[in-house]
Each structure stands twice: as structure tokens, then as C-alpha cells.
Structure 1
């Protein structure tokens, strides 16, 4: 009986120490981000104005589909970042290919875009603009295994102050649905 209780207590301490170490703030925010991988790990992370934004698999979703004579890509992730609660990277009637780098612009036909749910005094959905800074680079695209990986960076404008919100060091590696 004592051995069972001791085993349970040891297991609980180990679980708590692992979960606490994941929640601690990193000295260098980049260290909080997931590694750049290309095996369908189900990871997403970036820096939002220098603070880590990391998907915790609560909402993570990715698809690449052919609909209405065009390809649509969407990757969405959530975190409890102070400013941004959701980030979406996508394309509208535009293919994605391994090794290609795309400018992020308007959320409209033929384009790739970045979009954020911004939570300030009110809730806003803000999308990248044509001529603004932003890119998506697909580092792995395996349609057979349904793996997509990439890196991204973009700016959006704070709708209340007009200041630039900088999304940097973005990376993802996940499986997608068709």
C-alpha cells in the first residue's frame, strides 16, 4: 500500500514539474517557440511584439482544399497572448508549393494573407494589406502524407492606435485535411 501511494505521489510530482516548466516564461522568447520541424508534429508558434504566441492544440486547424475551381489553404491557431488571440495564415484560390515564398497581402482571390483576432477595448479581425510587410514560405508540402510546414512573418495595424503589431519568427509543422 505504501509503495502504491509513493508511486502515485512521485508520478504527480513529475507531471506537475513537467507542466510547470512548460508554462514558465522563457528568458529568451524564441526559446518558447516550437522547433522548426517538417514531420507533421502539429506545432505553431511565433513572436507577437516580442512575446511568444504558441498554439496549445486547443483550436489548431489546417486544411488545403480544391473548391470552386481553386485551392484554399487555411492554418489557424490560438493562444492567450495579451494582444492577439488567434492567427490565421491562408490563401484564396491560390496553390501552395514546397520551396515557394509568398507575399502576404489582402484576403482576396489569388492571394495569400495573414489575419489576426486582436483583443483591445473591442474585438477586431485584422488582415494583412497589399504593399505591407509579410511573407509565407512553405518549407515542406507533402500532399500524399498531408504534411505542411513553413515559416512566416507579417505586420498588422493596431486598429485603435495605428501602431504596427509585429508577427515574427513564425513557424508551423502540421498535418492538413483535404
Structure 2
């Protein structure tokens, strides 16, 4: 009888140790594609972030305009995550003089800007704002196909602003039909 008791206790311990692990937050993002899949996602301070909700406008837009000195690309996404008026976040990326695929820096540049707005905390981080004291990051265009009307890429940035702590955006990806 003692032997059966020990086997039962050991089985309970082993089965409880086989519980599911926390899912990888990256697995909760849309895949990084280059097909015009109309996807956008990133991790914000380690948590999955995708466009969500609707305030009367699209929660994910991409525009590309051609100028003589290169293209102007703007990517804007927002999410409404609650029912309160301040339950709103937005993320935007902007770059100009774009001629094709490649990597653009958000650090001390006039040509590329990253911005994150956290309405509830009344904090806005901008890579070209003098109150944002730390800024690092990049935007990589992996596909810019005007004939097919597809723009895709990846992004990541970290910014710090006194009174707002820091914002760390990683694993960013977008794929959009123009």
C-alpha cells in the first residue's frame, strides 16, 4: 500500500510539472511577411502590440508618396485597449528620401522619425523631440515594390523621456498593400 501511495504522489508531482509554459510574446505577433498581407505588430516593453479598435478611422495605414528626392513613407497604427477615453496608444514611423530597400536610423536624423503615444500616461516619445533624451532604433525596408503596390519591413526603437520612463519597441514588422 505504501508503494502505491508513493507512486501516486510522484505521478501528481510529475504531471503538475508538465504545465504549459508562458507563450512566447513574439508568437502572438503576425508573421514577418513581404506579400502585402496588411499586417502590423511589435512588442512594446515585451508585450504584444497590434492595431485594435476603431475611432472612426482605420487603425493601420501606410502611405507612400514619390518626390524628386525620393519617397516619403508614413506608417501609423493605433490601438484602443479599454473603454475609457484615455485607453489609447498610437505608434507611427516616418521616413523621407527613400529610394528602395535598406535601413534607416531614428538616432539624430532629420530623415526618419519614430513616435509612440501613451494617452493614459500622457506621454509622447518622439525621436526628433528635444525632451526625449535617449533615442536608438531603426526602420528596415525589406520590400518596396511600387508595381505590385507592396511595402514591407521591420523596426525597433528605444526612447527615454523624463517623467515618462522609457519605451522599448522590438520585433516590429509591417507588410502592407499601398
What's the TM-score once normalised by structure 2's chain length?
0.70
- 3-state DSSP class of the match of 2:147? coil
Question: How many angstroms apart in 2 are the aligned matches of 1:84 and 1:52?
Answer: 15
Structure 2 residue 110 is matched with structure 1 residue 113: no
d(CA) in 2 for partners of 1:79, 1:96: 30
Q: Is the CA contact 1:106–1:113 (under 8 Å) kept in the aligned structure 2? A: no
Alpha-carbon distance in structure 1 between the residues aligned to 2:100 and 2:158: 23
Cα offset for 1:44? 0.3
Show the counterpart of 1:18.
Answer: none
Which of 84, 89, 95 pairs up with 2:93?
A: 89
Which segments of 5 or more consecutive residues in structure 2 lack a partner in the other structure?
A: 1-21
> Of 31, 36, 40, which residue of structure 2 is paired with 1:35?
31
Q: Which residue of 2 aligns with 1:65?
A: 65
Q: What stretches of structure 1 of length at least 5 have no aligned partner?
A: 1-25
- Give the alignment's TM-score, normalised by structure 1: 0.70
Q: Conserved in 2, the CA contact under 8 Å of 1:128 and 1:155?
A: no
Structure with the largest fraction of strand: 2
Q: How does 1:1-178 map to 2 (within 5 A)?
A: 27-56=23-52, 58-67=58-67, 71-80=71-80, 85-92=89-96, 94-98=97-101, 100-105=102-107, 108=110, 111-122=111-122, 124-129=123-128, 132-161=135-164, 163-176=165-178
Q: Mean alpha-carbon deviation: is it higher for 111-120 or for 35-44?
A: 111-120
**Counterparts of 1:137 and 1:85, CA distance in 2:** 23
For 1:19, the equivalent position in structure 2 comes to: none
How big is each residue's C-alpha offset from its partner over 1:56-102, in whole Å with a ceiling of 9 and x where there is no partner? 4842111111358653210111123698711111114x21412x111
- Would you say the 8 A contact 2:52–2:81 is kept in 1? no
Structure 1 stretches (4+) deviating beyond 3 angstroms?
67-70, 80-84, 105-108
**CA distance change for structure 1 residues 46 and 84 in 2, over 3 Å: closer, same or farther?**
farther
